[in-house]
Structure 1
Amino acid sequence: MKVLKIVFYLFTFLGVSSFSYSQETAEEILEKSNEICKTISSIEYTIHQKGAPGKFGYGMPKIQATIIQKKDSCLDDIGFDKALIKATGIITENRNEKPFSFSYDGEDFMYQIGKKARQKSISGPTRNVTMGKLQQHLFMMRIFPFAEEDPYKMISGKGKVDINLITTEEKDGHPCNKIETSVTFKAPNGKELITKNIWWISELDCLPRAYSDGFIYKDITLKKINYPIPNSFFTLSNKNSNTDYLTGNEVENELTKANLLPIGKIPTQWSAKDQFGKTISSKQLQGKVVLLDFWGSWCTPCIQAMPDIQKLQDHYKHNPNVIIIGISAGERDKEAALKLFKEKGYNYTHIPNGDDIAKSNYKVKEYPSLYILDKHGKIASAEKGYHPNSFERWKTTIDKLIE
């Protein structure tokens, strides 16, 4: 009889808990998390990013890192929002472990990747420099809502947004609401394109404890929140003989070493056929602002960037002085990129099998790599990887060049 009473009370408790849990919608949970994230002034957390082969064969490295950030509204955003940052950890790619550390103290960006690598420092860094030196996975590893002025902005303003509560799961010792957000884009051919993010939001403090975009998965462990940190903490080490300090032309040389042509350079001329067999050449593009996206159907970040590139095409389609071009390369199946481009309904210019242009003219070794050229054919912007908020940055650059 006592056992039956215990079972009855257990089911009653679970029923009440379930009823209470169902009263809060996914939108309300995410809005609570949004407001809590805004109150964060400083934070220390660890992430464990699981390695995976990737949907399109592009390997996802394993990353274990500790990240400390401090918001500062007076800072320029060099890729870490308006915040100071220090990160240390290990990245494992193809069973090759490399320790890394990087920081930004408001003046200098310092980094060190590899066991025998010297520490380097760049004064007055830009977003392109930090992205170029850290490359896609280290640049994108942090948890964006912790430092963003508008947390979760990656899921808003791009199209129709759906927010759904899937289930509850335990993460980092916390009961969490597993919430899936999806943004639906309309392609020119009428097809719908969807990007998804999954957040595990703690029921106890409304902060994220895990994240996935369908390609990567990150466990998050919070260590400290809102504690005083002096700005000097964010300098990796004192200025000494073990640090190389880079300024001016040396920074451009570092960009070149990072497989990006320097700003102001005019790449060598090229000619190729687009997806319709029409010849297009760099000479024909003189007098126009040109965005070149080097991508591959096997590259997950490339696929993630393409909806924003199509959005640029839609924005400038009535401006004859702006040309958007995707150049695919590295394809084992020569038809793979053409097939994917057609299936997704993209309608900007596509040059398939552009390996020669990528390697010989633009020295591309990593994907995606993206260049914006001015009307004289000079490189005005160069970057690798993809950030969810790239569209506005690209648009700002292009608008300045067509003034």
Structure 2
Amino acid sequence: MNIKKHFTVSNAISALMVLFILAMVAFPSFKGTVMQQLLKTGLFSPDVSGSDGGKPLTGFLPAETASIQFKDPQGRIVSLGDQRGKVVFLNFWATWCPPCIAEMPSIQQFYDRFGDDEQVVFLLVDVDNKRAGAEKFMHKHSLTLPVYTPAGPVPDTYMGGSIPTTLVLNKYGQVVLKHEGMGDYSNPKFYAFITELINE
């Protein structure tokens, strides 16, 4: 039997593809790294043009918004309703979620740009409610994002089971952007959108 006949370029490519797929399935961090490269294409930027310049989205009840609560990094209860007068960036994520891993560097860049602005609140909510694991993840990836956890039920309109899910609320507590799936939050259009909301 001639082994050389069976070792072709096509077989080698097929083997590499199988290894690539196995790595994507077995290692969420590897999949996250691949997705980070996809983010750089600009195809996954949140559609701020569809938000109509900060116009409130329908389907979000003010009473529901006011009652949503989270625990901050110190364990204190933070109510979404108490953030009026500030622009809120609310991101639901998990440490095992490759798209969440992929978008974190762009969120970090966004945080580096606006984190010191007292008019912007960052709520990075670990949906697994495992603060220690989430903070370990942040440290491992050299991220300085504040980890929040749910302190009560979150309405399906905010997070219907798909993560990552990101929402932006204006200074009136109204949801003006909802983006499901990974997104690039370090792009100039998103920065301009947030700046516009700050200056309302």
User: TM-score surpassing 0.5?
Assistant: yes
Matches within 5 A, 1:2-401: 50=21, 52-56=24-28, 79=43, 127=47, 263-264=57-58, 265=60, 266=62, 267-268=64-65, 269-330=67-128, 335-352=132-149, 354=150, 356-359=152-155, 362-387=158-183, 389-392=184-187, 393-401=189-197
Give the letter aligned to residue 263 of structure 1. L
Q: 1:363 to 1:317 in 2, by over 3 A?
A: closer
Q: 1:365 to 1:342 in 2, by over 3 A?
A: same
Q: 1:79 to 1:343 in 2, by over 3 A?
A: closer
Structure number with the higher strand fraction is 1
Structure number with the higher helix fraction is 2
Number of equivalent positions: 162
User: Matched residues in 2 for 1:368 and 1:58: separation?
Assistant: 17
Q: CA deviation at 1:313?
A: 1.5
Q: CA deviation at 1:336?
A: 2.0
Report the secondary structure of 1:327's partner residue. strand
Give the letter aligned to residue 383 of structure 1. H
Q: CA RMSD in A?
A: 3.7
Structure 1 unaligned spans of 5+? 1-47, 61-77, 82-125, 131-261
Give the letter aligned to residue 133 of structure 2. A
Q: 1:329 to 1:80 in 2, by over 3 A?
A: closer
Q: Which has the higher contact order (CA 8 A, sep 6+)?
A: 2
Q: CA deviation at 1:263?
A: 1.6
- In 2, are the aligned partners of 1:58 and 1:299 still within 8 Å (CA)? no
Q: CA deviation at 1:283?
A: 2.2
1:23-56 deviation digits (Å, cap 9, x = unpaired)? xxxxxxxxxxxxxxxxxxxxxxxxx994642523
User: Matched residues in 2 for 1:271 and 1:363: separation?
Assistant: 14
User: Matched residues in 1 for 2:164 and 2:108: separation?
Assistant: 15
Q: CA deviation at 1:129?
A: 10
Normalised by the size of structure 1, how large is the TM-score? 0.35
User: Matched residues in 2 for 1:284 and 1:347: separation?
Assistant: 24
Normalised by the size of structure 2, how large is the TM-score? 0.65
1:190-227 deviation digits (Å, cap 9, x = unpaired)? xxxxxxxxxxxxxxxxxxxxxxxxxxxxxxxxxxxxxx
User: Matched residues in 2 for 1:315 and 1:350: separation?
Assistant: 18
Q: 1:291 to 1:400 in 2, by over 3 A?
A: same
Q: 1:330 to 1:288 in 2, by over 3 A?
A: same
1:150-184 deviation digits (Å, cap 9, x = unpaired)? xxxxxxxxxxxxxxxxxxxxxxxxxxxxxxxxxxx
- In 2, are the aligned partners of 1:128 and 1:382 still within 8 Å (CA)? no
Q: 1:50 to 1:358 in 2, by over 3 A?
A: farther
Report the secondary structure of 2:104's partner residue. helix
Structure 2 unaligned spans of 5+? 1-17, 33-41, 51-55
Q: CA deviation at 1:314?
A: 1.4
Q: CA deviation at 1:383?
A: 0.6
- In 2, are the aligned partners of 1:328 and 1:355 still within 8 Å (CA)? no
Report the secondary structure of 1:297's partner residue. coil
Of structures 1 and 2, the larger Rg is shown by 1
1:234-263 deviation digits (Å, cap 9, x = unpaired)? xxxxxxxxxxxxxxxxxxxxxxxxxxxx82
Report the secondary structure of 1:381's partner residue. strand
- In 2, are the aligned partners of 1:58 and 1:298 still within 8 Å (CA)? no
Identity %: 22
Q: 1:334 to 1:326 in 2, by over 3 A?
A: closer
